[in-house]
């Protein structure tokens, strides 16, 4: 089975404090890094407030199991509490090319 990239796009709820959100996010980083199948994670934001959370997993079963584990943990619930659910979209994709490709 091949690796999986979990991509979550979202915006924060109106009035959310970014510093508090990032503290909640850090707690989830600490938690999911202990999950079986975790590879790495990156959380980024655009100038207009669009967040993207990218997590690399060993395979789809571990990615799905981790999502369930995270949502059942108080840490995960605190993190998700900052997210506007109407703006959230989650995707699981399988990498097709990895690396920087040909350089000239």
Entry pTM: 0.89
d(CA 42, CA 7): 10
Give the SS3 label for residue 38: strand
| C-alpha closest to that of 84 among 9, 30, 34, 1 | 9
Q: pLDDT at residue 89 above 70? A: yes
What's the pLDDT band for 1 if we cut at 50, 70, 90? low
The tens digit of pLDDT for each residue in 38-82 reads: 999 999 999 999 999 999 999 999 999 999 999 999 999 999 999
CB 9 within 8 A of CB 52: yes
Q: Which domains does the chain have, with CATH numbers?
A: 4-93 (3.30.70.100)
pLDDT at 38: 97
DSSP-H helix ranges across 13-59: 18-32
Q: pLDDT at residue 98 above 90? A: no
- Give Cα 69 to chain centroid, integer Å: 13
């Amino acid at each position: 089975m091949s690796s999986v990239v979990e991509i979550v796009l979202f915006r924060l709820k109106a009035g959310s404090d970014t510093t508090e959100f990032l503290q909640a996010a850090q707690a989830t980083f600490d938690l999911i890094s202990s999950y079986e199948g975790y590879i790495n994670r990156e959380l980024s934001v655009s100038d207009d407030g669009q967040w993207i959370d990218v997590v690399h997993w060993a395979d789809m079963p571990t990615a799905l199991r981790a999502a369930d584990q995270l949502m059942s943990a108080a840490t995960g619930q605190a993190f998700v509490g900052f997210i506007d659910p109407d703006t959230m979209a989650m995707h699981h994709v399988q990498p097709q090319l990895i690396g920087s490709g040909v350089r000239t």
